[in-house]
Structure 1
Amino acid sequence: MEHVTHDQRDMKHHHEKSKQHLYQFVQVEMNDGSVYQGILHSYDMDKLFLIMPKMHHHMSMELDESSSRQFPFFGPFGLFGFPFFGIRRFGPFFPFFI
């Protein structure tokens, strides 16, 4: 009988969910409570990768208020990796009430 650890079950679950939601807008909650939204671009054995806007924290407050806050998805995008071991949960993101 093959011994399957809890981590291996979690990894299989993350891979199945990643395959199901590939190229969809998802929300990822990390173990530290931080939350990210983006398009699920790809995944590998250890991470899932989201396309998300690059946030520039060095901008002045005036520029922030006039462009970034009103139009948060304008500007350059980046590909960001999130390790499966650090993910509490993830799934489709619905920015509206159903």
Structure 2
Amino acid sequence: MKQLILLLTAMNLFGADFIPNTQMHVVLQPSKNLVWQDDAPSSERQMSYKSAMAYCETLDYIGMTNWRISNAAELYTLIDPNRTPTISSAFAHTSVIGHCMTA
């Protein structure tokens, strides 16, 4: 956890937008102080809003327990209109097919 905080702080100083961490299966977004889960099992899950809320409330992943569903503005920052699919190339396991859920 200390390594993650140090990494987020360092990247924030250098203005990095998306930093994939393939060992922890997350994508860091220091400009917004966000950590996005990016692992194969979670990217294949389809769930209702209620199930997603329960998933976030009980998730203990990479030593973090304060997970939540992103809001629309946060989700919008993932879009790269120059790509197909339009999600940032920093995400290895996340592909958007159909609808996205926001808080």
Task: Report the TM-score when normalising by structure 1.
Answer: 0.27
Larger RCO, structure (CA 8 Å, separation 6 or more): 1
**Rg bigger for which structure?**
1
**Which structure features the higher share of strand residues?**
1
